[in-house]
Amino acid sequence: MDSCKRHLETMRRCRTDASNAWRTAAWVRVPYPFQWGPPTFHFKTSIIMVIVSLVASVDSLSSYHATSLLVNLSPPTRGVVSRGIGFEGISTLIAGVWGTGTGSTTLTENIHTLENTKMASRRALQFGAVLLVIFSFFGKIGALLASIPVALAASVLCFTWALIVALGLSTLRYTQAASSRNMIIVGFTLFISMSVPAYFQQYEPSTNLILPSYLLPYAAASSGPVRSGSNGLNFAVNALLSINVVVALLVALILDNTVPGSRQERGVYIWSDPNSLEMDPASLEPYRLPEKISCWFRWAKCVGI
């Protein structure tokens, strides 16, 4: 803690001319399993991660459908969605073994990359993935990325997240957007998802350190307003209610399934007949794995994937 306080200004900016990131970073570094020691498990954080994983799965599901609409493909079937979520789980497991600190999920920003570049080729995405894997072995590249000024990163995020919000709201075109039911649900969800987490994040422990946004739920969990007889329950509830996407998902899910509305009004008729897609082999051809890879996953057919 004392060391962090001494280097507070360096951590705040992380510039190459103000820190030793570029000088101390290795040119080549090969990561290996359990490089930070054996994994540890805590019940309180496990509950939070289970809920967050469910939220990430819902976000991935919406990304699958948005991408299919963007490239003029039929919506993915249940088996295709299950396969995608399963691969994300396997990737998260591998990330945990290698100690990356974050899980793997579908990045919504990539949808805007497809829309802006008009490039939806699988080969192009595979080539980009190979480049990212190669770059991960060079520490100097990581130091260069870490030296990007905060103002520049914030300006890029403002543009990116604005597009993400627009993409999410654009799915309302399949519903009756002029319906008072839908307008109230969307408006109330947006308001609650911003106000409730902001209230819980006020209980962040006082510290001189600047916590990243992904650590705010854990900071609020240790001193949040929910204080029952169970410390584990307090930790989980305070952390979950300080995460915007969790609150938005819970509120939208409850309201959309409890407030009366027709299937046309809710827009669920768009995805209401997945069996018709499974009967058409041509519609599933773009979703098939390459032949050299699919031969290793023939066993997955027994679980409906």
Q: Letter for the amino acid at 231?
A: N
- Domain, as residue range, for 186: 178-272
User: Looking at the domain assignment, is residue 240 inside a domain?
Assistant: yes
User: How many CB atoms sit inside 10 A of residue 155's CB?
Assistant: 11
Question: In this predicted model, what pLDDT tens digit does every residue of 130-174 receive, in sequence order?
Answer: 998 898 888 888 888 877 777 787 788 787 777 777 777 777 777
Query: Is 175 within 8 Å of 262 (Cβ atoms)?
Result: no
Sign of CA dihedral 123, 91, 65, 305: positive
Q: Evaluate whether residue 254 is within a structural domain.
A: yes
Residue 35 lies in a domain: no
Report residue 204's pLDDT band, with 50, 70 and 90 as the boundaries: low
Q: Is residue 302 part of a domain?
A: no
Asked if the structure places residue 185 within a domain, the reply is: yes
Q: What's the pLDDT tens digit per position in 66-95?
A: 788 778 777 787 888 888 888 888 888 888
Number of domains in the chain: 1
What mean pLDDT comes out for the span 245-262? 88
pTM for this structure? 0.72
Asked whether residue 209 carries a pLDDT value surpassing 50, the answer given is no
The 10s digit of each residue's pLDDT in 218-235 is: 566 667 788 777 777 787
User: What is the structure's pLDDT at 232?
Assistant: 74
Answer yes or no: is 189 within a domain: yes
Per DSSP, helices labelled H in the chain are 2-6, 8-13, 21-24, 43-70, 78-98, 109-117, 122-135, 139-146, 150-170, 180-201, 216-221, 231-240, 244-258, 263-266, 274-278, 281-284, 291-294
